[in-house]
Amino acid sequence: MNQIARELWDWVKTFVIVIVIVLVVRTFFFANYMVHGESMMPTIENGERLIINKIGYEFTNPDRFDLIVFHATEESDYIKRVIGLPGDHIKYEDDTLYINGEAYEEEYLTPYRSTYENGPFTNDFTLEEVTGFSEVPEGKVFVLGDNRQNSMDSRQIGFVDMSEIVGKANIRYWPVNEFTIIK
């Protein structure tokens, strides 16, 4: 009987340790995120599931074109693409992104611009027109959804404070046939 009790105790300890490790990893390092809405289409579709790296931005700041999840309101998180970093001047003209006066090719949009027939894929704007600021303030980022015609992003909600960023989208794991490591 003593042997059975010891064996049972070993199993209980192992189970508790596994549960603690899973809770620590989910709480501090990675999170599961389900996409709601069409603002990142066609890059990310409604209903897809992602793994979010929560720890990376504790040591570094977001990079331009990272896909980030952030607290948009008390009730909901958004996923968008970082376009402007602190100190950047942003302008869109003739469907071309200009950052600090330099044109950027948004390769992730190229396959979809050709299918959009209702004018420019991204309407012209300047950072000052949509936010009232001539450059992205310190501690904030300017974000856009990839579905530029149907996205609630920094053009409407303003800058995203870096303290509101949950993490970077690293992996799309659902649906299984769309499994991708996000660059």
Closest by alpha carbon to 151, among 38, 49, 68, 34? Answer: 38
Domain assignment present for residue 71? The answer is: yes
- Structural domain includes residue 8: no
For residue 2, being part of any structural domain is answered with no
Task: Judge whether residue 112 has pLDDT over 60.
Answer: yes
Instruction: Please indicate, yes or no, if residue 135 is contained in any of the structural domains.
Output: yes
pLDDT at site 57:
81
pLDDT over 70 for what percent of the chain?
Answer: 90
Domain membership of residue 47 (yes or no) is yes
- The DSSP letter of residue 172 is E
105, part of any domain: yes
Of residues 153 and 46, which shows the higher confidence score? 153
pTM of the model as a whole? 0.80
Q: Is residue 21 part of a domain?
A: no
pLDDT band, very low/low/confident/very high, at 154 (cuts 50, 70, 90): very high
- Return the active site residues: 39, 80
Please give the tally of structural domains in the chain: 1
Give the domain CATH number at 44: 2.10.109.10
User: What domain range includes position 123?
Assistant: 32-172
Within-domain flag for 24:
no
